[in-house]
């Protein structure tokens, strides 16, 4: 099972992490909203490797049959590997652009509140809270689990759906080669 976890988790993580790095380069001009939408879409694409891993494991190692719980466990492990690669990709980006990224994000959010008609007191409170959060975020022990928490719920959902679908051996049965 570990072979499937590492291979498909690695592929999924490369898709998600690589797409995140590319999106920051390409979509930076659109602001954070565009990159967030793109980010979660690529999480779904990258985490589709969960489905592929469960299907391949079911067909190649389990004779075309897998129960729900082993399939779910495999999916969660693949999601964890992909998530860890996602965290590493974010840490690479953050090491190169962290302070600039945080300042840009804070400026965008402040401008959005001003445009929305927030009072100066509300904006001042937001800026103070955001700076406090930025101080916490500058510590890896806070930042890494927070980053992992972005992708793991998506991975868990994909794992649940994939395990539920693929526990039925009649769905996408293995084709005979010949």
Percent of the chain with pLDDT over 90: 72
155 inside domain = yes
**Can you tell me the distance from the alpha carbon of 55 to that of 166, in angstroms, rounded to the nearest whole number?**
7
Is it the case that residue 115 has pLDDT exceeding 70?
yes
89 inside domain = yes
Amino acid 33: pLDDT: 52
**Count of domains observed in the chain:** 1
Q: Quick one: which H or E segment has residue 173? A: none
171 inside domain = no
0.85 exceeded by pTM: yes
114 inside domain = yes
174 inside domain = no
Amino acid 23: pLDDT: 81
End-to-end CA distance of the chain: 26
Q: pLDDT tens, 33-66? A: 556 777 789 999 999 999 999 999 999 999 999 9
- Residue 11 structural domain: 2-166
Q: Can you say whether the dihedral through the CA atoms of 91, 96, 99, 105 is positive or negative? A: negative
Instruction: Calculate mean pLDDT across residues 105-121.
Output: 89
Predicted confidence band at 102 (pLDDT cuts at 50, 70, 90)?
A: confident
Neighbours of 146 (CB within 10 A): 14
Instruction: Calculate mean pLDDT across residues 93-116.
Output: 86
């Amino acid at each position: 099972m570990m072979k499937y976890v590492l291979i498909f988790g690695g592929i999924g993580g490369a898709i998600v992490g690589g797409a995140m790095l590319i999106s920051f380069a390409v979509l930076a001009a659109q602001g954070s909203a565009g990159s967030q939408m793109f980010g979660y879409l690529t999480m779904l694409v990258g985490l589709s490797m969960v489905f592929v891993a469960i299907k391949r494991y079911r067909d190649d190692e389990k004779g075309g049959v897998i129960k729900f719980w082993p399939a779910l466990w495999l999916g969660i492990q693949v999601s964890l590997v992909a998530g860890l690669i996602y965290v590493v990709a974010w840490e690479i980006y953050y090491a190169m652009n962290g302070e600039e990224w945080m300042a840009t994000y804070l400026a965008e959010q402040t401008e959005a509140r001003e445009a929305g008609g927030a009072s100066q007191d509300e904006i001042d409170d937001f800026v103070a809270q955001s700076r406090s959060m930025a101080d916490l975020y500058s510590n890896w022990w806070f930042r890494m689990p927070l980053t992992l928490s972005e992708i793991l719920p998506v991975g868990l959902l994909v794992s649940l759906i994939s395990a539920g679908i693929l526990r039925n051996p009649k769905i996408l049965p293995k084709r005979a080669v010949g």
